[in-house]
Structure 1
């Protein structure tokens, strides 16, 4: 901890927050340009949307690879090289002649830049005291929510004076600048006991994670939350620009409304004295919002605000669930931290990519079925939370349940 304390703490923390913006910028900055990209590359909007699923597939690969490597190497150094790879992917995307090349470039982007999702959290686990972790994790969650909400508006403004190819160039430049700054401002975060990258050690790390029942619980929570949020991000251009015919600028502004709910959920879990109660409250509110989203869509209410406003309520649950699940993962104190974290976030991102790909393959072209697909994971999240709480009430004395209002999670070693 001494190396971190010798540096300005705020500089290291700010760089961690900035680094987790990169995956979200790569995911959403170009969303307002999807119709232009389709026209320029001579393909369909649906084909361009599928490149987002490719980005998520690369995201999932990056999660596991970064986690495995971080058990052997310095997480700070790995993150620097990840940002460089993100920049290379940006250059390839900027010069892509076909949608196939663009899809491949976006996978390269994701494998590089999205490593921050795992590596920044490992820096937190290795360099920050336990008492500070939840504050930083919720800050990360807020940044992750705010970036895809604000970046489409920024992208919509920039596309008025530039091309989509130049925006990929901007992302490449951002990646290189951040790589240099991250190396300079963030302390090294080497594993306490480095583990060789071998199939046997990877298998042992996976086995250690899968033997913890809490791992399954937290992985399910974060996967369901992400499935709902990512599906909306992927389908938002079609829903808002394609069906509701809003302008690029209006699209960017409208995306901020659901993000307000996400941020509210993260603030809720940060401010309440009991994180477990905040999580329970957030997912319950989110389930109510999802019910309203589906009900209004099925009833044929044809208003853009009938979609985005109840989604803001839905994503209160998402905003509470994601940092809660991440904190729960850290509390498991797995022997192979990198492999465990990599597997955890791989499951999250793979679930989002697979779910969105299935929905896209169904060629849903009206609001009602898409709204049902977006709301269903949020309802499932509320259902498994209440089910687990009910099971816990039957297992433990009533006084304990009333005090915690949530299943006891494994505590970190002290």
Structure 2
């Protein structure tokens, strides 16, 4: 187990201590990347099946999307619970419990007889995946500071970005041979493999001396102290609203591309994956930009660019210009801008509160997935079309850039 001195040192140095990372930073990044991939795999793998789920269970598309809302709500609520637990019990035990819950919920999804049971089980799946997400981000907060944390987060995004590419294709492959229920059998296997990897390869990065009491009063005090930091709150809002565009696309893409543009499940998976490639490429360009610019400045310019692209997207959608390309090109551009936002906003926020990295990561994640849970049904109610997606995506990034400017979040001094 790492000492307090070792953890403190690694926050400010490029190499991760072998005592903490066993044996290398690269291995740590791979393990953490696998952990954060559980959430996107859980969200994205069943997307090609959404129209089929709606048909087989006899519900509308907006009702079928409630299964996605349940997952995102579970991810949000689960992080608020797991964050304080990981600050008190260490990172490993809450992680193992969360993955086990995910596997149990996936089993319920496999045999779900109706939309109500499926939605409930998807919520529990989300809560289980939340443990993997919050622990991975908290470990980054344990070990790294500011630009170094943003660099590591960008590397995690490289691994994380593979999930949206692989997941829909894997789901579509399952649907070629079996019913949508069996998508969840594959998730059980994947979560089991991840549980084994975490048990064998993830060290404990929170020393006993740095843990916080597991008491309601102490937990409430920690959350209140974080919420009093207005710049931290602004960064949480920026990260959440920036993610609104991503979740709007996840919620509506299958209905727009398959329903309105006639793509089959396999082609949809490829097109959906192309958006993930744009996102991943941007996260790696972000590493290069961090050598010259602060994370705060990159955040501002990325959100501003996304807002301009989003405005153009609204015009193309309202005028029905460009066909499927008038939809895909601006969507991919916004997703690329999110590749700059998603690593930098959490990294700068976490650098302000190393003493409560788990709880801070929980607030960040809960805000992101809470917004996602709210966005999914909004897209459905607005019609699951190009106009709905363009308006929701643009509104999210537009408000995010205003929030960042309002608190001076673009200043080079994040503290």
Q: Under a length normalisation based on structure 1, what TM-score does the superposition of the two structures give?
A: 0.89
Alignment partner, residue 246 of structure 1: 263
Alignment partner, residue 410 of structure 2: 406
RMSD value over aligned CA atoms? 2.2
Provide the C-alpha distance between the structure 2 equivalents of 1:206 and 1:129, rounded to a whole number of angstroms.
21
CA contact (8 A) 2:252 2:379 kept: no
1:374 CA drift (Å): 2.4
Q: Quick check: 1:371 aligned with 2:390?
A: yes
Correspondences of 1:184-333 after superposition (within 5 Å): 184-191=200-207, 192-272=209-289, 273=291, 274=293, 275-301=295-321, 303-333=323-353
- Structure 1 residues 229, 260: closer, same or farther in 2, change over 3 A? same
The answer to which structure, 1 or 2, has the higher relative contact order (CA under 8 A, 6+ apart) is: 2
Correspondences of 1:38-77 after superposition (within 5 Å): 38-77=54-93
CA distances 1:104-128 after superposition (whole Å, capped 9, x unpaired): 1111111012222211111222245
Deviates more, 1:376-385 or 1:52-61: 376-385
CA contact (8 A) 1:71 1:338 kept: yes
Alignment partner, residue 10 of structure 2: none
SS of 2:383's partner is coil
Pairs aligned (count): 395
Deviates more, 1:245-254 or 1:134-143: 134-143
Alignment partner, residue 179 of structure 2: 163
1:32 CA drift (Å): 0.5
- Structure 1 residues 131, 239: closer, same or farther in 2, change over 3 A? closer
1:150 CA drift (Å): 3.2
- Structure 1 residues 289, 256: closer, same or farther in 2, change over 3 A? farther
Provide the C-alpha distance between the structure 2 equivalents of 1:222 and 1:239, rounded to a whole number of angstroms.
26
Q: Under a length normalisation based on structure 2, what TM-score does the superposition of the two structures give?
A: 0.89
1:377 CA drift (Å): 1.1
Provide the C-alpha distance between the structure 1 equivalents of 2:145 and 2:298, rounded to a whole number of angstroms.
22
- Structure 1 residues 366, 347: closer, same or farther in 2, change over 3 A? closer
CA contact (8 A) 1:205 1:335 kept: no
CA distances 1:259-282 after superposition (whole Å, capped 9, x unpaired): 233223322321112133433332
- Structure 1 residues 318, 18: closer, same or farther in 2, change over 3 A? same
1:70 CA drift (Å): 0.9
Alignment partner, residue 399 of structure 2: 380
Deviates more, 1:365-374 or 1:115-124: 365-374
CA contact (8 A) 1:28 1:148 kept: yes
1:203 CA drift (Å): 1.3
Provide the C-alpha distance between the structure 2 equivalents of 1:380 and 1:410, rounded to a whole number of angstroms.
20
- Structure 1 residues 199, 151: closer, same or farther in 2, change over 3 A? same
